[in-house]
A and B are shown apart, each in its own frame.
Chain A
Amino acid sequence: MPITDADIAKVAQLAQLELAAEELKTFGAQIAEIVAYVEQLNELDTTNVEPALGGLTPEGEKTDSSRADEIAGSLGQKTALAEAPDPASGHFRVPKVL
């Protein structure tokens, strides 16, 4: 299926990327080429094949990851905000939403 300019613009929007016209064009062509390469997978009949979701080994799947619901330490407000580009009064400040 050919990938149109509109498809690429839509994808950029979904990915929250404000791409320049030039970038949209380059990526469009490159993504079309990669997708064409990926389509070789259609040579394979996978009718009754289960998809391999996740990467766990059988031992990993058997590992019980549950833990007791206990109060533990946390970073704390000061540390959590220390790397924020625009912290304000103990919060992450963002530009206006509406």
Chain B
Amino acid sequence: MLRETVEVAVRAAEQLNETLNAFLEIDREGAVRRAAEIEKSSGAHKGSGAGVGGGAGLEGGAHEAVMAGVPVAVKDNICVRGMQASCGSRILGDYHPPYNATVIERLINAGAVVIGKTNCDEFAMGSSNENSAFGPVKNPWDTTRVPGGSSGGSAAAVAAGIVPVALGSDTGGSVRQPASLVGVLGLKPTYGRNSRYGLVAFASSLDQVGIFARNVADVARTLGVIAGRDAHDSTTADVPVPDYGKTLEGNLKGARLGFPTALFGKGLDDEVAGAVKNVVDVYRELGAEIVEVELPHAGYAIAVYYVIATAEASSNLARFDGVRYGFRAEDAPELRQMYRKTREEGFGAEVKRRIMLGTYVLSAGYYDAYYRKAQQVRTLIKNDFLTAFKKCDAIITPTAPTPAFAIGEKVDDPLAMYLNDIYTVTANLAGIPGLSVPCGLSSQRLPIGFQLLGPYWSEATLLKLAHAYQQMRPFTERPPVFA
């Protein structure tokens, strides 16, 4: 039974990959073998019920194997031993890391089966998946459109019903924005909730491993498995991991939800604005109190983000030099020349652009003007949230300013592409958790999502709020491309 579930997922991944390009590697043999092992060792378990198709949950399994036989897809910038980790880049190509990321180790210990590695924007830099060296992922709702990014492959794999759960990484919205564009849930936890050990670093002070799923219970269970302190990542915090699945039920009487009116203005698609305002009405009906909040510095978040994220990236990506792993350029007889040629040939345009920008803002004479200034405004953005959360338990915003856009539409205009992240980057800058929840379809039948932002360590609250919404307004639509 477990084996069958995994086989179904692998077959779906294989069959739909021609259409979606969501997977860069599918490990049929390893996944089936692993499922058989789990089945054997937990012979007493009666079916995983893992929700391939139909959106069923991760029911069943003993306590020590809460995800027994659940097929999972993993973004190709998270290390899984025995599988590739290309990060969507030519410079890593078919690099095979010799170890598991901590989040993977924990998933495997909980019985989950990694069926494949998913396509993404190169080194997680992008909002459309068009920056992958291995071609863009297609949106299962309309294959002429982007699935969002950078974790577009993981998002598409869950939306298309291939797997019930997938992991991504979120540095400025790379889990929440694609979740919104393909109509699934996407969680970016509090900074320090999940280990980054084995996640290839983009911007270390912003990166967090995030979760995609089609229902809240699956997000809750997966978070419970992967979260918590890890000795291999000194930025993980010593904060207890609650049983997130236990606190999903219950009414919302007394809950206070913040509504930042000023964020519902320029640049926001009318249909998205309307859909998110309807969400507010649903919460009001559910008994929540809606309070007006202000985030006066939110408008500066993109500017701050593209200084800090690129500065950290320029440093983190210095390690890709053709010496210890990955690609090395040929015909470079001198060391420095070899570095430069390797990086020139190995990195794509967006990665080079960001390394250049990051190097520029950190270079002598500009550090104070750009980098230090951005870090100061980051403090102001954090303080905005601390102030807002004195008045409310969570804040509602759109996740992305528009539904999915066409492939090719924004490739020549980096700044326009960056503005996609306007509602999501603040959470990374402040370190707070954010959850994108599907809330309907546009007139063109494209998914729309809203975002819940909460104080540090408030994942349980966000999941409860999302669950209450989904009970009232279940998102049952399925894309045309579905397993």
Contacts and interface: CB of A to CB of B under 8 A. Distances in A.
Interface of A: 3, 7-8, 10-12, 14-20, 23, 27, 30-31, 33-35, 37-38, 40-42, 44, 46, 49-60, 62-65, 67, 75, 79-80, 82-86, 92, 94-97
A33 B418 CA distance: 12
B139 to A, nearest CB: 26
Given A27-B352, A83-B95, A92-B324, A15 B303 contact: no
A30 B370 contact: no
A2 to B, nearest CB: 13
Interface of B: 95-96, 98-99, 190-192, 204-206, 229, 231, 234-239, 297, 300, 302-304, 306-307, 314, 318, 321-328, 332-341, 343-344, 347, 349, 352-353, 355-357, 359-361, 363, 370, 372-380, 382, 414-415, 418, 428-429, 431, 456-457
Contacts of A10: 363
Given A17-B352, A85-B327, A31 B376 contact: no
12 contacts: A11-B359, A17-B347, A27-B352, A33-B415, A51-B378, A56-B191, A57-B431, A63-B234, A84-B324, A95-B333, A96-B334, A96-B335
Contacts of A55: 191-192, 204-206, 235, 428, 431
B355 A15 contact: yes
A17 B270 CA distance: 43
Contacts of A8: 356
Contact of A41 (B304, B323, B344): B304
Contact of A86 (B328, B347, B372, B429): B328
Contact of A16 (B204, B303, B321): B321
A16 B239 contact: no
Contacts of B428: 55
B235 A51 contact: no
Contacts of A97: 334-335
Nearest to B373: A41
Nearest to B372: A51
Most buried by B among A3, A40, A55: A55
B356 A11 contact: yes
Interface majority SS on B: helix, strand, loop or mixed? helix
A16 B229 contact: no
Contacts of A84: 323-325
B237 A95 contact: no
Contacts of A34: 306, 357, 414-415, 418
Contacts of B95: 83
Nearest to B207: A55
A52 B379 CA distance: 5
A53 B333 contact: no
B378 A52 contact: yes
A35 to B, nearest CB: 7
A46 to B, nearest CB: 4
A18 B332 CA distance: 12
A31 B357 contact: yes
B314 A85 contact: no
A97 B323 CA distance: 13
Contacts of A85: 322-323, 325-328
A15 to B, nearest CB: 4
A37 B305 CA distance: 12
Given A18-B343, A59-B457, A95-B332, 20 more contacts: A3-B360, A15-B356, A15-B359, A17-B343, A17-B355, A18-B344, A31-B360, A37-B306, A38-B361, A44-B297, A46-B376, A49-B377, A52-B429, A53-B205, A55-B431, A56-B191, A57-B191, A59-B237, A96-B334, A96-B335
B324 A83 contact: yes
Given A14-B363, A63-B237, A41 B338 contact: no
A57 B459 CA distance: 14
Contacts of B306: 34, 37-38
A97 B437 CA distance: 54
B174 to A, nearest CB: 15
Contact of A44 (B323, B357, B377, B456): B377
Given A44-B300, A83-B325, A30 B382 contact: no
Top 6 closest pairs, chain A to chain B, by CB: A51-B375, A55-B205, A18-B340, A65-B234, A85-B328, A46-B376
